[in-house]
Chain A
């Protein structure tokens, strides 16, 4: 099954303290471990929401809202797409991540019908 991991770390690049090289190395090690285990299918980091846009649909009307977006705590800074056998497996992997802040959301992707 596929699980989308949403990193709700707040506004990208706006962290109170920038990550140390050690923290970056630790993160890379974790990511490598995930790749080696065949877990990561795709991943990406998002640019600051100032460069983002929102389109709101209301009947026939489309209104475009320019970033930055206000709800900073809920902002997604990056994502992973994982291939795992259960949501519990994803949870166990995520618990091993070397993060010390932010909320990470696990969402199962509905894929094969009947699977």
Chain B
């Protein structure tokens, strides 16, 4: 009996092991496909968008190719050139689509002609890197088209260029999945309805369109760098995604100084990601950070990118200027060694180029550091009545800081409490509440003296 039961057990175990092995193969293949998708999807969608003229169709065809890969690769193995395989499969689907939807109109007929022309005598492999680059650039410009709202541009960019799923985007922005899905659907529809063309804009239009692209990348970065809502203060994955997009763009458009300016700004800010969160999860503000934890590699990359922007000549744009400010901090070995007068001068230049109340506030803080808290406070006080800063928590936070330095603890405490009530980020709220408590304690100490 014992022998039989053990042999049954061993047979069962073997069967289970077999099933497990098959599962492992399948899950290994799925993980490989997922990784390949991340690598290839943007180029794939870009190439298809050039043919189809619209992102919606391109994405559908690319998804079809992905489904085919998920069906076939686990048994057939990953092809040697997975990108070319996906593209060829997507183009076959396009031909099918045309056959099936011939009546649906011109769009697919056009696509059919393009696909035939593309396949007529030419091999997939003849597509040069340059053409790939142009396709990718065209896709970036399309996804970041100013006709779309900021939210729509951000979602669409992460989806088609970052290769993120709707669920991943929703998780990153703490928004319901359905809202992101809707945003993406609407964005694609808007692009079609407003007849946005797949192109790399030139000349004057390029400047405005590029500004829109840079804005989207920076928005993604900032949402990761100082999460506007939720429990976490930073979400490094979003920063990494934005950095990756920036680095890709810098290679695609190497003669645009502002692209390098933005990359420099993001690299230098990202160098502090580790240092700006305490082990408790609380934010650590710039001047209190342990500079030994700054990532020297990213600082060096940032300074190199800033150098590239400067070498391209011309007046520095807003991103390069902000990068130059970030570089002042990066170069200072200690907070006390910061070149504040230079930072004030750089903020003057930013304010002239791209005036905004937030820039004014930052400038006021720099003035406070360079020329004393009273001078800073005077400038901040002039901003208090601005409607656009009414709900901006960093205004009372900055004012509280300056008041505290001037020994006006009661007023400082009220400002920190106000900042705490305005921020939507839980971690930042805790920090502001702690500052308020410190001011209360300092006031008592002051009274006792």
Query: Are A and B associated in one complex?
Result: yes
**Chain A interface residues toward B at CB < 8 A:** 1, 32-33, 35-38, 41-42, 81, 83, 85-86, 88-89, 91-93, 111-115
- Return 17 A-B CB contacts under 8 Å, by A number: A1-B240, A32-B129, A37-B39, A37-B248, A42-B297, A85-B38, A86-B35, A88-B32, A88-B34, A89-B35, A89-B38, A89-B39, A92-B32, A92-B35, A92-B36, A111-B274, A112-B273
Q: Is the CB of B35 within 8 A of A112?
A: no
Given contacts A85-B240, A88-B35, A112-B236, 10 further A-B contacts (CB under 8 A): A33-B129, A37-B248, A38-B243, A42-B297, A83-B240, A92-B39, A92-B82, A112-B274, A115-B236, A115-B237
Q: Is the CB of A38 within 8 A of B34?
A: no
How does the 8 Å CB contact mask read for B30-44 relative to A, with 1 for contact and 0 for none? Answer: 011011101100000
B408 CB-CB contact with A under 8 Å? no
Chain B residues lying within 8 Å of A111, measured Cβ to Cβ, are 274
Q: Identify which of A35, A36, A42 contacts B133 (C-beta below 8 A).
A: A36
Q: How far is the CA of A35 from the CA of B247 in the complex (A)?
A: 8
B6 within 8 A of A: no
Proximity bits, B253-282, A CB within 8 Å = 1, else 0: 000000000000000000001100101000
Report how far A60 CA is from B187 CA in the complex, Å.
66
Whether a CB of chain A sits under 8 angstroms from the CB of B434 is no
- Residues in A with CB closer than 8 Å to B39 are 37, 89, 92-93
Chain B hits for A1, CB < 8 A: 240
Report the nearest A residue to B295, measured CB to CB: A111
- Cβ A113 vs Cβ B279 within 8 A: yes
Give the number of residue pairs across the A-B interface with Cβ within 8 Å: 57
CB pair B31–A38 under 8 Å, yes or no, is no
When A and B form their complex, which 4 residue pairs have the shortest distance between CB atoms, in order from nearest?
A38-B247, A88-B35, A38-B244, A89-B35
Q: How far is the CA of A38 from the CA of B279 in the complex (A)?
A: 30
Name the interface residues of B123-156: CB closer than 8 Å to any CB of A: 129, 133
Closest to B136 in A: A36
Q: Is B93 part of the binding interface, using a Cβ–Cβ cutoff of 8 Å?
A: no
Distance A14 CA – B248 CA, assembled complex (angstroms): 35
Q: Which A-chain residue is minimally distant from B263 (CB atoms)?
A: A38
Q: Is the interface of B mostly helix, strand, loop or mixed?
A: helix
Measured CA separation A89–B241 after assembly (Å): 14
Cβ contact of A36, chosen from B32, B251, B274, cutoff 8 A: B251
A41 vs B279: C-alpha distance when bound (angstroms): 26
A85 to B162, CA, bound (A): 10
Interface of B toward A, CB cutoff 8 Å: 31-32, 34-36, 38-39, 82, 129, 133, 236-237, 240, 243-248, 251-252, 273-274, 277, 279, 297, 301
Q: Please name all residues of chain A whose beta carbon is closer than 8 Å to the beta carbon of B34 when the two chains form the complex.
A: 86, 88
Cα distance A36–B274 when bound, in Å?
26
Cα A36 to Cα B246 in complex, Å, equals 11
**B30 nearest in chain A by CB position:** A88
Contact A38 B274 (CB under 8 A): no
Contact partners of B31 in chain A: CB under 8 A: 86, 88
Q: Specify which chain B residues have a CB less than 8 angstroms from the CB of A93 in the assembled complex.
A: 39
Name the A residues within 8 Å of B277 (CB-CB). Answer: 113-114
A8 to B247, CA, bound (A): 28
A41 engages B248 (CB within 8 Å): no
Of chain B, the residue at the smallest CB distance from A42 is B297
How far, in Å, is A37 (CB) from chain B's closest CB? 7
- Neighbour of B297 across the interface among A38, A41, A113, A114, CB < 8 A: A41
Judging by beta carbons under 8 Å apart, are A113 and B274 in contact?
A: yes
Report which residue of A36, A92, A111 has the largest number of chain B beta carbons within 10 angstroms of its beta carbon: A92
Give the contacting residue for B35; candidates A36, A41, A91, A114; CB below 8 A.
A91
Write out the residue numbers on chain A whose beta carbons fall within 8 Å of the beta carbon of B244. 38, 83
A42 to B304 CA separation, bound complex (whole angstroms): 13
Q: Smallest distance from the beta carbon of A23 to chain B beta carbons, Å?
A: 18
Q: Which residues of B contact A35 (CB under 8 A)?
A: 251
A38 and B38 alpha carbons, distance in the complex (Å): 13
Query: A111–B294 Cα gap in the complex (Å)?
Result: 11
Inside 8 A of B246's CB, which chain A residues have their CB? 38
A28 to chain B, nearest CB (A): 12
- Cβ distance B233 to chain A, nearest Cβ, rounded Å: 11
Residues on the B chain within 8 Å of A85, using CB = 38, 237, 240
* Docked pose: A45 CA to B31 CA in angstroms: 31
Task: Report A-chain residues with C-beta under 8 Å of the C-beta of B301.
Answer: 41
- Which B residues are in CB contact (< 8 Å) with A83? 240, 243-244
Q: Which residues of A contact B237 (CB under 8 A)?
A: 85, 115
Query: Which residues from A are CB-within-8-Å of B240?
Result: 1, 83, 85
Chain A residues whose C-beta falls within 8 Å of the C-beta of B36 in the assembled complex: 92
| Chain B proximity of A89: nearest CB distance (Å) | 4
Least CB separation from A32: chain B residue? B129
If A88-B32, A91-B35, A93-B39 touch, does A38 touch B245 (CB 8 Å cutoff)? yes
A92 to B251, CA, bound (A): 21
A114 to B277, CA, bound (A): 10
- In the bound complex, residues from chain B placing their C-beta under 8 Å from that of A37 are 39, 248
- Closest chain-A Cβ to B140's Cβ sits at a distance in Å of 13
Taking the nearest CB of chain B, how far is it from the CB of A83, in angstroms? Answer: 7
Q: How far is the CB of A36 from chain B (nearest CB, A)?
A: 5
- Most chain A CB within a 10 A radius of its CB, from B35, B236, B251, B252: B35
